[in-house]
Amino acid sequence: MNRPRLVPNWKTSLRWWSVRLSLLNVALLQVWLELPPDLKAAIPPNWMATAASVLALLAVAGRVVAQEAPATTTENRS
């Protein structure tokens, strides 16, 4: 088995939709864990599982869909 290696452009990973959606999913799950029981009771039971599943599927789709290449020049912002 080969040793895991970082992809060459790992520094731009926060621009990838797959990473953004995965982080959003983690944040959603963390918020759910921190909600008080009375607020959780006000949300339909299957909502959290459905939302997490949809975000996970979108993250997979974001990984296989071609995204724009990062800009090679930097803009001078004033």
Dist CA 37 CA 33 (whole Å): 10
Query: pLDDT tens digit string along 33-43?
Result: 999 999 999 99
Q: What SS3 state is found at 15? A: helix
Query: pLDDT tens digit string along 29-73?
Result: 999 999 999 999 999 989 999 999 999 999 999 989 887 765 665
The shares of helix, strand and coil residues in the chain, as percent rounded to the nearest 5, are: 60, 0, 40
The answer to whether residues 24 and 51 touch, using CB atoms and an 8 Å cutoff, is no
